[in-house]
Structure 1
Amino acid sequence: NGDRSKVHYLNAEKITSFFHETLPKVKIIVDAPLDSSGHYALAATYYQISKYLPELNQPPSIQINSCRTIISFQMKSDKKLFATAYAAIIAFNDAAKTQEKISNIMEMLDSQDANYLTPRTAKKIQQLTTVFNQSIKKINQINKDKELLRFCNGIKFFQTPTKITLVNSSDQNFNVYHHPTFGKRIINKVSKNSEVETIIQVPQAESYSINTIMNFLDGFHNFKY
C-alpha cells in the first residue's frame, strides 16, 4: 500500500511465480463438435462422477467450433493435474490408453532417487503421488458403478479421438495423450487443397523423457491447495 501498512518482500523465485502464475487446467480436445446428445450425456456423466470426485464438481468450460470441442477443467493447484486428467477422461473411449500414459508418467516420477532431487522437487513428487493414488481408488469405485457411465454409452461424441493436454501454473503445456487418428478427419476433408494440408499436421504418438516431465514439474508454482 502507499502508506506501507502492508509490505511484501519477494525473492527471485517468488517474483517469477507472482508475475507468471496462472490457474492450472486439464484440457480434453475432442476431434468433433459437441452436439445436443453429447452435451446432455457429458453433463450427466460428470455430475455422477463428481459424487465420487468433488474436485470435478465445478463444471468444465466448453469451447466448440465446427471441427472440435475443448473441455477444460480449471483447478487451484498443480498437484491435482494428473489426478484430474485421469478422472476426467473416463467417459471417453480413449480413457484406458490415456490413463495408462498417466500411470506410466507417475511411475517414472515415483522411481526417481530422492537423493538426487532438491527437497522442493521431492516434495512435489510426493504430493502428486499422494493425490494421484487417492484418485485411483475413487476411479476404481466409479468403474464398479455400471450405471454411472450409461449416459455416454453408444454416443458417437465419446468414441471420437481425443487429445489431452495439461497446463501448469506457469502456463506450460504438456501433452499427455494424442490419439493416432486425431485430426485426420479434417485432413481428409481438405485433401484437395495442398496448402491447407501442409498446415494441418497429425503429430506422432507422445513419448516422454524424464527430463521433459521434470521440466513441466519445475513450472508448478501453485501447491497450496
Structure 2
Amino acid sequence: MEAEELLKRFELVKRYTEGDRDFTGINLNEANLSRINLSQTILKGASLFVTNISGANLSESDLSEANLNVARLSSTNLARAILNGASLNVANLVRADLTEAQLIGASLIRGELIRSELSKTNFSGANLTEADLREVKLTEANLSGANLSGANLRGASAKEANFAEANLHGADLTKAELNGVNFSNADMRQANLQQVNLSGADLSGANLKWADLSGANLTGADLSDAKLSGANLNGAELRNANLANASLVHADLTETILINADWVGADLTGATLTGAKLYLVPRFGITADEITCEWVDLSPSGDRTQIQQFNSPAESRKFLNHTPGLVRIMVDALLDQSANRTLATAYYEIAQHYPAMSCPPNIDIGYRRTTITLRFDSDEHLLPAAFLAILPFNDALQTQKNIVVIGKTIQGQDLEQKRIVKLCKALNVAINNLNEVKQLLPAPNTEQKTKFFQSPTQTILISSGQQSLTVHSQSNFGKRGGNNQDSKFSLPIGQKVVDFLTSFDYVD
C-alpha cells in the first residue's frame, strides 16, 4: 500500500515538474500528498477522499466539484483556490489558508476549520452545518445564504463579513468579533451570541428568536424589523442602536443599555425591562403591554443617579406608552416661502437659548390656515416653549402675558412641591432669555407681517395625558371679514389648569 502511495506521489510530481497542470478527474484517494506543491493546477472533479494534503501548496488551484471528504488539509495553502461545488465534509482544514478562495455552493458539513484564515473567502450558498470554525478569521468574507446551522464560531473574527440571509440557527458565536457584519434577514434563532461584538452590525430583519445576546455589544447596530421574541439581552449594550419596528415580545432586557436607542414601532409585549438604561429613548410609538419593570435608569451615563421607580405594572406601562406633549400654534394665514424662511431662522435662534426646541416643528398648511406643532418628550417644556415659540407673531405679547398668569397660579395649586418648582424653573428660563432672544430674531418685512405674522393666532398646549389648555385665542381667529370685538378670549384658570397640570407625565 505504501509503495502504491509513493508511486502516485512520484507520478504526480513528475507530471507537475514537466509542466502538466491539468489533473481533471484524477483519483488520488487515500494518497499521502503532504507538503506537495501543486499550485495553479486544475483538479476539477478530482477524487481526494481521505487524502493527506496537509501542509501542501494548492494556491490558485481549481478544485471545483472535487471530492475532499475526510481529507486532511491542515495548514494547507489554498489561497485564491477555486472549490466551487466541492465536497469537504468532515475534512480537516485546521489552520488552513483559504484567503480569497471561492467555495460557492461547497459542502463542508462538520468540517474542521479551527483558526483557519478565511479573509475575503466566498462561502455564498455553502453548507457549513455543524462546522467547527472556532477562532477563524473571516474578515470581509462572503457567507450570504450559507448554511451554518449548529456551527461553532466561538472567538471568530469576521469584521465586515457578509452573512445576509445565512442560516445560523443554533450556532455558537460566543465572544466573536462581528463589528460591521451584515446579518440582514439571517436566521439566528437560538444562536449563542453571549459577549459578542456586533457594534455597527446590520441585523435588520434578522430572526433572533430565543437567541442569547446577554452581555453582547450592539452599539450602533441596526436591528430594525428584527425578530427578538424571547431573546436574552440581559446586560447587552444597545447604545445608539436602531430597534425600529423590532419584535421584542417576552424578551429579557434586564439592565440592558439602551441609551439613545430608537425603538419606535417596537413590540415589547411581555418583555422584562427592570434596570434598563433608557436615557434619550423615545417613550412613545411602542407596544408595552404586560411588561415586567420595577425600575429604569434615566441617568445620562447609566450610573443609576436618576432612577425611576414603578409601584405597579400600570405605572410602568403608562411610562413606556408615553405620548409626547405638544405646543400647537394655529395661524389664520397660509405660510409662504419668505415667511417660512423667517420662521425657520427665528426658531433656530430660539433653540440656541432653549435647546428643548432644537427639533424643527411640524408645519401643516391647510386650505386657509397654517398649523405649527412642536413636540416635547417632557411636559415641563410646554409652557416655556409656547412662551418663546409665539415670539415672531404679533400676538406674542398677549400670549406671553397669559402664560405668565398661568405660571403664577401654579404656585397656589394643590400639586407636589417638586413638580411646582420644576415647572416654574423651566418657565423662568424662558422668561429670562426673552430680551436676548428678541434681539436675535430677524425682522420680517411689511408684506410678511400683513400676510402671516400679524394674522390672528390660537395657541394650544396638549399634555402627554391628552389634556389640552388654550393659552390664547385672538378675537378675530377663525373669523372672516374684519374685526370682531364681541368674542373676547377668557383665560382658563382654577380647576382647568389643575386638570391640565396633573395630566403631565412626570419623571422623578
TM-score (norm 2): 0.37
Secondary structure, aligned partner of 1:8: coil
Match of 2:117 in 1: none
Letter in 1 for 2:328: K
Change (3 A) 1:131 1:3: closer
Q: CA separation in 2, counterparts of 1:90 and 1:13?
A: 39
Match of 2:501 in 1: 217
Provide Cα deviations, 1:147-190, integer angstroms capped at 9, x if missing partner. Answer: 5232x3431300000000001011111111000000112xx59x
Report the Cα offset of residue 12 of structure 1. 7.0
Q: Does residue 21 in structure 1 map to residue 341 in structure 2? A: no
* Contact 1:142 1:148 (8 Å CA) reproduced: yes
* Contact 1:169 1:222 (8 Å CA) reproduced: no
Report the Cα offset of residue 3 of structure 1. 6.9
* Contact 2:392 2:453 (8 Å CA) reproduced: yes
Kindly report which structure 2 residues correspond to 1:48-67, keeping only aligned pairs within 5 A, or say none: 48-67=349-368
Q: CA separation in 2, counterparts of 1:3 and 1:127?
A: 35
* Contact 2:460 2:472 (8 Å CA) reproduced: yes
Match of 1:135 in 2: 430
* Contact 2:346 2:441 (8 Å CA) reproduced: yes
Match of 2:389 in 1: 88
Change (3 A) 1:100 1:160: same
Match of 2:293 in 1: 8
Report the Cα offset of residue 46 of structure 1. 1.3
Change (3 A) 1:82 1:153: farther
Q: Which has the higher helix share?
A: 1
Kindly report which structure 2 residues correspond to 1:23-172, keeping only aligned pairs within 5 A, or say none: 23-112=324-413, 117-118=414-415, 121-143=416-438, 145=439, 147-150=440-443, 152-154=444-446, 155=448, 156-172=451-467
Q: CA separation in 1, counterparts of 2:314 and 2:387?
A: 30
Match of 1:199 in 2: none
Change (3 A) 1:44 1:21: same
Change (3 A) 1:49 1:79: same
Change (3 A) 1:140 1:64: same
Change (3 A) 1:16 1:164: farther
Provide Cα deviations, 1:64-83, integer angstroms capped at 9, x if missing partner. Answer: 11111110110110011100
Change (3 A) 1:110 1:96: same
TM-score (norm 1): 0.80
* Contact 1:17 1:170 (8 Å CA) reproduced: no
Q: CA separation in 2, counterparts of 1:173 and 1:79?
A: 14
Q: Which has the higher strand share?
A: 1
Secondary structure, aligned partner of 1:136: helix
Change (3 A) 1:184 1:52: same
Q: Which runs of 5+ in 1 are unaligned?
A: 190-201
Greater mean alpha carbon deviation, residues 205-214 or residues 64-73? 205-214
Report the Cα offset of residue 103 of structure 1. 0.2
Letter in 1 for 2:503: G
Report the Cα offset of residue 122 of structure 1. 2.4
* Contact 1:176 1:206 (8 Å CA) reproduced: no
Change (3 A) 1:33 1:8: same
Q: CA separation in 2, counterparts of 1:55 and 1:70?
A: 20
Q: CA separation in 2, counterparts of 1:16 and 1:68?
A: 37
Q: CA separation in 2, counterparts of 1:181 and 1:19?
A: 40
Q: CA separation in 2, counterparts of 1:17 and 1:3?
A: 19
* Contact 1:165 1:174 (8 Å CA) reproduced: yes
Greater mean alpha carbon deviation, residues 161-170 or residues 207-216? 207-216
Q: CA separation in 2, counterparts of 1:223 and 1:29?
A: 29
Q: How many residues align?
A: 201
Change (3 A) 1:19 1:53: closer
Secondary structure, aligned partner of 1:51: helix
Q: CA RMSD in A?
A: 2.4
Change (3 A) 1:17 1:184: same
Q: CA separation in 2, counterparts of 1:3 and 1:175?
A: 42
Q: Does residue 179 in structure 1 map to residue 474 in structure 2? A: yes
Provide Cα deviations, 1:169-222, integer angstroms capped at 9, x if missing partner. Answer: 11111111000000112xx59xxxxxxxxxxxx965133221110000110014
Greater mean alpha carbon deviation, residues 47-56 or residues 95-104? 47-56
Change (3 A) 1:106 1:81: same
Q: Which runs of 5+ in 2 are unaligned?
A: 1-229, 231-249, 255-271, 273-291, 295-310
Change (3 A) 1:21 1:33: same
Report the Cα offset of residue 44 of structure 1. 1.6
Larger Rg: 1 or 2?
2
Q: CA separation in 2, counterparts of 1:96 and 1:168?
A: 23
